[in-house]
Amino acid sequence: MNTTRIGIIGLGNMGGRMARRMLAAGIDVLGYDAAPGRAAAAGARAAASVKEVVEFADVVLFSLPDSKVIEAVVEGAEGVLAACRAGQTVIDLSTAAASSSIRLNGLFRECGVHFIDAGISGGPAAADKGTLTLMVGGDAASIEAVAWVFKPISAKVLNMGASGAGHSTKLLNNFLNAVSLAATAEIMVAGNKAGLDPHLLLEVLNSSSGVSYATQTRFPKIVDGDYIEGGLTSRLMTKDVVLYLELVRELGVASLNSAGPLASFGLACALGYGDQVSNRVVDAIGDVSGGIRVQVKLKLSTGGDK
């Protein structure tokens, strides 16, 4: 098997970045995206269909919005299952329902195709640098065989266990991300209304028990007007929280902390921030708290301008 032929289905925010990393490593990439021009923007050769990608590649990667889209791409009349061949490997780098991934793994196994679910963490910045963290699920030998695929895009690859384990881990991580981002947005708005300097407030949080990725990495930029565009949108964050809720329901685990992030990112979507980076949740909370913006250069109330 020629181990330099990669097919990527989904060349958006993360898929395009991963494609560029692989091309820079000398890997031949053929890409397909429903949005015209994305393959070219990533520097990859463009396929006319999913079928063309699957027929070309030894390893097919997915970077797609959700399980509904993934299932359509896999099971459609001209989808991956219809075109795949024994010995291929399919790696799903999306954020998806673990139960769906386990079901698809069974379908691929019947065709002699190796299926790996691989959650990714690190966002656009890590994707650009090739330093993503990957949490993967599937057969250990199959995962080891595609280590060369992971090398250009990741700094750490953790085998979490059997099929579905990678996507389960990703949902757990994303839920904590949603909780900390929504909660930090709320306290930054509250701090503003209390007249606190946002830089000093963050300094306290980052040297105290309230520290989180949001306080350390996101808000030091947000308070200076940099929302770190290009990351996960509020609409996708809401989708991930819902997927987490479905997972814990299936596991029989009580979810006592989901109402906050679900309401926060739902609010952001309702107020028009759904397709903007999820960090804008701070503006959504500010909007319903008196038109507050937490940026230093804007100081206190700005009348709610977006």
CA-CA distance, 298 to 292, in Å (whole number)? 9
CA angle (203, 205, 206) in 5-degree steps: 65
- pLDDT-based confidence at residue 3 (cuts at 50, 70, 90): low
- The model's pLDDT over 49-92, given as tens digits with 9 standing for 90+, comes to 999 999 999 999 999 999 999 999 999 999 999 999 999 999 99
Grouping H, G, I as helix, E, B as strand and the rest as coil, residue 174 is helix
Domain presence at residue 14: yes
Domain presence at residue 121: yes
Residues 95 and 23 reside in one and the same domain: yes
Residues 287 and 238 reside in one and the same domain: yes
Domain presence at residue 238: yes
- The model's pLDDT over 130-164, given as tens digits with 9 standing for 90+, comes to 999 999 999 999 999 999 999 999 999 999 999 99
Residues 48 and 133 reside in one and the same domain: yes
- pLDDT-based confidence at residue 283 (cuts at 50, 70, 90): very high
Residues 39 and 131 reside in one and the same domain: yes
Percent of the chain with pLDDT over 70: 95
Q: Where would I find the H helices in the chain?
A: 15-24, 38-42, 50-56, 67-75, 80-83, 98-110, 123-129, 140-145, 147-150, 165-193, 198-206, 213, 219-222, 234-251, 259-268, 281-287
Residues 192 and 139 reside in one and the same domain: no
pTM: 0.90
Domain presence at residue 244: yes
Q: Which two tokens stand for residue 72?
A: 């359509």
Residues 197 and 285 reside in one and the same domain: yes
Domain presence at residue 26: yes
Domain presence at residue 304: no
Residues 20 and 131 reside in one and the same domain: yes
- Asked if residue 84 lies in contact with residue 115, where contact means CB atoms within 8 angstroms, the answer is no
- CA-nearest of 55, 105, 112 to 80 is 55
Domain final residue, candidates 104, 127, 161 = 161
Mean pLDDT over the full length of the chain = 94
Domain count, the chain: 2
Residues 122 and 176 reside in one and the same domain: no
CA-CA distance, 114 to 202, in Å (whole number)? 46
CA angle (6, 12, 15) in 5-degree steps: 35
Domain final residue, candidates 145, 161, 177 = 161
Q: Give the per-residue pLDDT at 230.
A: 87
- pLDDT-based confidence at residue 298 (cuts at 50, 70, 90): very low
- pLDDT-based confidence at residue 2 (cuts at 50, 70, 90): very low
- CA-nearest of 174, 191, 175 to 285 is 191
Q: Which residues contact 128 (CB under 8 A, 6 or more apart)?
A: 17, 20, 21
**Beta strand 45-46 pairing with 89-92:** unpaired
Positions marked active-site: 170
Q: For residue 233, what is the domain's CATH number?
A: 1.10.1040.10
Domain containing 231: what range? 169-298
Q: Is the pLDDT of residue 302 over 70?
A: no
- The model's pLDDT over 196-217, given as tens digits with 9 standing for 90+, comes to 999 999 999 999 999 999 999 9
Domain presence at residue 303: no
Residues 154 and 14 reside in one and the same domain: yes
- pLDDT-based confidence at residue 299 (cuts at 50, 70, 90): very low
Greater confidence (3 vs 200) lies with 200
Q: For residue 148, what is the domain's CATH number?
A: 3.40.50.720
- In the chain, the amino acid numbered 244 is Y
Residue with tokens 């990669």: 6
Residues 137 and 237 reside in one and the same domain: no
